[in-house]
Structure 1
Amino acid sequence: MLDAALSSYGAQIVLVSSSDENHPPENIIDGKTETFWVSTGMFPQEFIIRFPDNMKIFTISIHSYNIKNLRIEKGTSEDADKFEAIAETEFEHTESSLQNNDINVNVSNATHLRFLILSGYDHFVSVHKVSVQS
């Protein structure tokens, strides 16, 4: 299966609600868990990944830290202006290791995925890697 959320595949981060120059949002899609994007506090936080083509998506994997509630939405328009919820989940709190969550979605078509971090276990959260199996 192909990981469609890699920058090397052509995926892009087209929107992010906060940014830290030392931990830019592009780290989410570089394929590494050692690099990450960090929020700058307050909730909700969000980021949008755009794919180079319309994708069929089976599973979304997220490596993160301190995320409590997450909603994932898909978009099918080129403008990324209309989204439809496809999953909402609560992550388990982990003290000394990354949260590693696989979310089965089975989406027939998506040009964008919007990730809405609704709450966290702390003021700041980090997203280390997002993988999209298509």
Structure 2
Amino acid sequence: MPLKPVSTRVLMASSLDEQHPEERMIEHGDRSFWISTGLFPQEIMLELRSPSRVSTVKLSSTHIKAFQVEGCPDHSPINFTVLCRGELKDMRGQLQFQELKCPDNENTNFIKLVILSGWCDFCTVHRIEVDGEMVDEVSPVGALDSHGVSEFAPSAVEGQGAGGTGPLRGMNRARTLSGAADLRIPRSVLPNSDEPLAPRQRADSSPWEKG
């Protein structure tokens, strides 16, 4: 199969800035970015849409000095091995572009970028792109496999990451005993007897409307 960009999602980032969220790193273009807010090292973890033999990781950043890229072939992001490492030149605020070769790696489910040091107190990552050969297709988003595991199901994770403290938002695989889940979100809810009166959402409105 030809090598091509592998679809990814940000599972975890060790720093959180609401103005520059971690999802910006996988958007197209270099104008948006994620920024570190703590000491080094910093970590960014990606979950691949499908297990892949990763060939290259393309990185667009500022103020990164030493780094390494790690991969995990397991279904849980626990045991990582180093795929490649390197050091970037000080571009004095200009974008650093790097294409990292990752030869002879196993089928990879997770990629972790570990920023070991920087040229300044803070660094930015504008773009991470993973290229490789997909070796297995996953079930549709929200569907459960034969073990009752939902592929690419989002959840909120809180904890402490390297170089910073705060909520680590990411993606976890959700397990159910029955092998299927039916989640229904009501459009409106009657107030409890002890609940104060307050403006409520219209019963005919969508719970996902913005603004």
What TM-score results when the alignment is normalised by the length of structure 2? Answer: 0.59
For 2:94 and 2:100, locate their aligned partners in 1 and report how far apart those are by CA, in whole Å: 19
Which residue in the other structure is 1:34 paired with? 31
State the secondary structure of the residue aligned to 2:53: strand
In the alignment, the residues of structure 2 paired with residue 43 and residue 102 of structure 1 have an alpha-carbon distance, to the nearest angstrom, of: 22
Structure whose alpha-carbon radius of gyration is higher? 2
- Deviation at 1:57? 1.2
Q: Which residue of the partner structure matches residue 69 of structure 2?
A: 72
More strand by share: 1
**Runs (4+) of structure 1 moved beyond 4 Å?**
none
Q: Check 1:26–1:90 CA distance in 2 against 1; reply closer, same or farther (3 A cut).
A: same
Residue 115 of structure 2 corresponds to which residue in structure 1?
Answer: 117
SS class of match (1:67): coil
The reply to whether residue 45 of structure 1 matches residue 42 of structure 2 is yes
Q: For residues 106 and 80 of structure 2, what CA distance do their matches in structure 1 show?
A: 14
1:12 aligns with 2:22: no
Aligned partners of 1:64 and 1:54: how far apart in 2?
26
CA distance in 2, matches of 1:25, 1:109: 25
Q: Any idea what SS the aligned residue of 1:71 has?
A: strand
Aligned partners of 1:112, 1:26: CA distance in 2, in Å?
A: 16
| Matches for 1:81-120 after TM superposition, within 5 Å | 81-106=78-103, 107-120=105-118
Q: Percent identity?
A: 27
What is residue 126 of structure 2 aligned with on the other side? Answer: 128
| In structure 1, C-alpha distance between the alignment counterparts of 2:68 and 2:19, rounded to whole Å | 26
How many residues align? The count is 129
What residue identity is the alignment partner of 1:40? Answer: T
Question: For each residue in 1:9-38, what CA deviation from the matched residue of structure 2 results, as whole angstroms up to 9, or x when unmatched?
Answer: 3x1111111110000001111122111000
Amino acid paired to 2:21: P
1:2 and 2:4 correspond: yes
* C-alpha RMSD of the superposition: 1.1
Residue type of the partner of 1:36?
F
* SS across alignment from 2:116: strand
Q: What are the superposed Cα offsets for residues 62-103 of structure 1, whole Å, 9 maximum, x if unpaired?
A: 000000000110001111011001111011110242000111
One-letter code of the match for 2:96? Answer: Q
Larger relative contact order (Cα-Cα within 8 Å, sequence gap ≥ 6)? 1
Distance 1:93 1:68 in 2: 7
C-alpha distance in 1, partners of 2:19/2:101?
32
Q: Unpaired runs of 5+ in structure 1?
A: none
